[in-house]
Structure 1
Amino acid sequence: MVLDIWKRIKKGDFAPVYLLYGKEAFLINETKQLLLDRLLKEDEKDFNYTAYDLEETPIEVALEDAETFPFLGDKKVIFLHNPQFLTSEKIKEKIDHNLSRFETYLKEPAPYTVLVISAPYEKLDERKKITKELKRTAEVVEAKKLNEHELKSWVKERARGYGIDIEPSALELLLTLAGTNMFMLSSEMDKLALYAQDEKMIHADLVEKLVSRTLEQNIFTLIEKVVSRKLDEALRIYFDLLKQNEEPIKILALLSGQFRLIYQVKELSRRGYGQQQIAGFLKTHPFRVKLAAGQADKFTDEELTNLMNLLAEADYQMKTGGMNKSLLIEMLLFRLNK
C-alpha cells in the first residue's frame, strides 16, 4: 500500500529502484516529491537530480548516469518518465531501448542511486520480461484511487504533518463536500491547517465554513434538498449556480448523472452486490457509491423511474425546444419535488 511506502521513505528506508504506475497522478507526484525531498538537500538537487523522458532518450543513457558517482553528496536521484515498453497499450515508440542493459542494472543497481520509474498507465504488460523483473526487484507503488479507509488515513496523516488533528465528523464532512479528488483534498487540507493552528484541531464547523464546494457537490446537496422536499433551498442552490455562470445544460447533465447513479446503486444493491463491488462495476469511487446508497433509500423504485423519465424529457426539450434553459430546470425542480 502506497501509504506504508511513504512511511518507510519518511523514516529514511529507501529502495534502490521504485516503480510508480497507475492513473492517480497525485500519488505518483507525491511519491516522487517525497523521495526527492528526503534524499537530497536543496543545494544538491542541481547536481544529483536528473529526469529523463524515455520517449526522447534511450534508457541506456539514463543508466550510464545512474552508474556515475554523485557529485558533492552521497546520493543521486534519477526519474525515468514514460516507459512505454512496460505497457501493452498500442503506442508507436520513437526510441529503441536496450532493455537487456536495463535488466542487468536491476540485478545489481548502483548503491548510491535511487532510480524512479514513473509509468502513468493503468496496467502494465505482465507478459514482458522487463515488467516481471521490475516487479520482482523494485519497490512497486500502484497509484490507484484510494478506498474510503485509505483516503481517511491519508487525510489524518496529512493533518499530523501540520501538527494538528481532525475530528471524525469533520473528516466525514470534508470528503462529502470536497469529494475524492486528492489534489483538491490536499489544497483544502492546506487551507484548513492554517486556520486550525491555534486549536490544533480541525472541527466540522471549520470545514463547513472554509471548504469549497465542487459543482458536483452542489448538485449532490441540491438533490438532498429535493429528497427532503425543501424546494426553496433547492432553488436557492440552483440560482447560486446560475450566478456562478454554470451552464443549465451542464447542471442538467450532472443532475441526470447523480440520479442515474442512485438508480443503479439501488438496483445492484437489490441484487446482492456490496458497495465495493458496485463501485468496481460502475467504475466510480466507493465513497460516491456510499453517498448514493444513502440517497437511494429515500426513493421507491417507481419514484426513481418517474424521475429518470422527467430528466430524459427535460434533456430532450433543452436540446430541441425553444424554451429558456434556466427556466426549464426551474420547472423540473418543481416537478421533482412533487
Structure 2
Amino acid sequence: MIDLWKKIEQKVFSPLYLLYGIESYLINETKQKLVNNMLTEEEMDFNLSTYDLEEVPIEVALEDAETFPFMGEKRLVILQNAIFLTSEKGKQKVEHNLLKLEEYIQNPPDYTILVFIAPYEKLDERKKITKLIKKNASVFEAKKLKDAELKSWVIGKVKLNGVTIDEDAAELLITLSGTNLMMLSSEIDKLSLFIGENNKIDKATVERLASRTLEQNIFSLVDKVVHRNISDALRIYYDLLKQNEEPIKILSILANQFRLVYQTKELSRRGYGQQQIASHLKVHPFRIKLAAGQAQLFSEEELKRIMHLLAKCDYQMKTSSLDKVMIIEMFLFQLK
C-alpha cells in the first residue's frame, strides 16, 4: 500500500490499476491520490471519467479511454464495480465485450490511466480476464489492516494534517474509537484541529477528546467485569442508558464480546496464533489482541457460565415482562 502511494505521489503512474477488496476507505483514498496527483483542477472537467460497470458496458468506457486527452497530457478513466472479475454472475445487468478489453489491456494507450475498482473480498482467479489484469496492472488489495499497519496508518494520517502523534497515543485512539478507518479519520481530523499545526497529540488529549464507540464502551464494561469491578461496570452501563442505547442492543454486543473472548481462548488453546484467529473468525486482528488479553483472566468454566447467563438474559428480554434495564443489572450482580 505505502509503496504504491509513494509512486503515485512521485507521479510515477501505471497505465492500468486494479483496486480490490472490502476496505472501501482505502480504495477511495487510493483513487483520490490518483486523481489529485495526475490531474489539475482544470483538467478534471475534461480528462476524468467514471463508469459504473454494473450499468455501462465496458466497450463504452474503453472508447472514452482511447480518446486523446483534451487540454492535458493524461486522461484518467475509473471503472467502478468490475463485477466480471468475480463469480457473482447474478448481479450483472449488462453484457461486457471482454475480448475488446483483453485487446486494450495488452496494448494500452500511453495517454490514459485506466483504474478497475472491484469492491469484493475475492476475485475469481480462474477467469482469463482476471489473470490478464493482475498480470499487467498495478494491483492494490484493500484489506483490513493488521495491528502494526493500522497504527502506521494513523501516524501517517496525522502527519498529513501537519501534526504528530505519540505511538502510545495512536494505539489508545484505535482502542477507544475502533478500527473503522472512516471513524478514525474523522477523529484524527478533530484531534489535529484541536491541537493545532506543528504540535503533538498525546495520550491525555486522546483520552479527553476521542469518541468512544458503543463496542468500545462494552469492551470497557467487560474489562471492569474481568477485574471484578462491578460498580464501575454498572456506571458504564448507566452512562450508555443515558446516551439512549437500548438494553437489548447493549446485551447483544455484550454477548458478542464474551463470545469473542471465549472463542479466542479456545482457539489459542488449540495452538492458533492471533492472526490465524482473526482470519478464522473474520474479526479485525486488533480486536483479537484485546480479547486475548481478557481471555487470560477468565477460566473456561467462568466463560461458559457467563455465556449461559447471557443466553438466559436474552430469553428473559424477549419473553418475560421483567424490566429490561434490571435484567442486565441482575446479570452484572451475578458476576461478583
Q: What TM-score do you get using the length of structure 1 for normalisation?
A: 0.97
Alpha-carbon contact 2:278-2:285 (below 8 Å) kept: yes
Offset of residue 79 of structure 1: 0.7
Corresponding residue SS for 2:56: coil
Offset of residue 199 of structure 1: 5.5
Query: Equivalent residues in 2 for 1:255-294 (5 A)?
Result: 255-294=254-293
Amino acid aligned to 2:287: R
1:189 maps to which residue? 188
**Counterpart Cα distance in 1 of 2:147 and 2:119:** 23
Deviation sequence 1:41-80 (CA, Å, 0-9, x none): 1121111111111122111111111111111111111111
Moved more, 142-151 or 225-234: 225-234
2:144 maps to which residue? 145
User: Aligned pair in 2 of structure 1 residues 49, 296: CA closer, same or farther (>3 Å)?
Assistant: same
Amino acid aligned to 2:17: Y
Deviation sequence 1:91-117 (CA, Å, 0-9, x none): 242222111111111112111111111
**Counterpart Cα distance in 2 of 1:72 and 1:90:** 39
Amino acid aligned to 1:114: I
**Counterpart Cα distance in 1 of 2:94 and 2:310:** 51
Corresponding residue SS for 1:332: helix
2:225 maps to which residue? 226
**Counterpart Cα distance in 2 of 1:58 and 1:168:** 47
Alpha-carbon contact 1:164-1:197 (below 8 Å) kept: yes
2:202 maps to which residue? 203
1:7 maps to which residue? 6
**Counterpart Cα distance in 1 of 2:91 and 2:245:** 40
Alpha-carbon contact 1:3-1:154 (below 8 Å) kept: no
Offset of residue 229 of structure 1: 2.0
1:50 maps to which residue? 49
**Counterpart Cα distance in 1 of 2:254 and 2:167:** 29
Corresponding residue SS for 1:95: coil
Corresponding residue SS for 1:23: coil
**Counterpart Cα distance in 2 of 1:108 and 1:198:** 47
**Counterpart Cα distance in 2 of 1:204 and 1:92:** 47
**Counterpart Cα distance in 1 of 2:257 and 2:183:** 20
**Counterpart Cα distance in 1 of 2:132 and 2:202:** 47
**Superposition RMSD on alpha carbons, in Å?**
1.2
Query: Equivalent residues in 2 for 1:103-182 (5 A)?
Result: 103-182=102-181
Offset of residue 40 of structure 1: 0.9
Corresponding residue SS for 1:78: strand
What percentage of aligned pairs have identical amino acids?
A: 62
Unaligned runs of 5+ in 1: none
Amino acid aligned to 1:81: Q
**Count of matched residue positions in the alignment of Structure 1 and Structure 2:** 336
Alpha-carbon contact 2:162-2:198 (below 8 Å) kept: no
Alpha-carbon contact 1:84-1:91 (below 8 Å) kept: no
Query: Equivalent residues in 2 for 1:15-26 (5 A)?
Result: 15-26=14-25
Offset of residue 82 of structure 1: 1.5
Alpha-carbon contact 1:196-1:202 (below 8 Å) kept: yes
**Counterpart Cα distance in 1 of 2:253 and 2:93:** 40
**Counterpart Cα distance in 1 of 2:107 and 2:197:** 50
Corresponding residue SS for 2:334: helix
Q: What TM-score do you get using the length of structure 2 for normalisation?
A: 0.97
Offset of residue 14 of structure 1: 1.1
Unaligned runs of 5+ in 2: none
Where does structure 1 differ by over 4 angstroms across 4 or more consecutive aligned residues?
none
**Counterpart Cα distance in 2 of 1:55 and 1:305:** 47
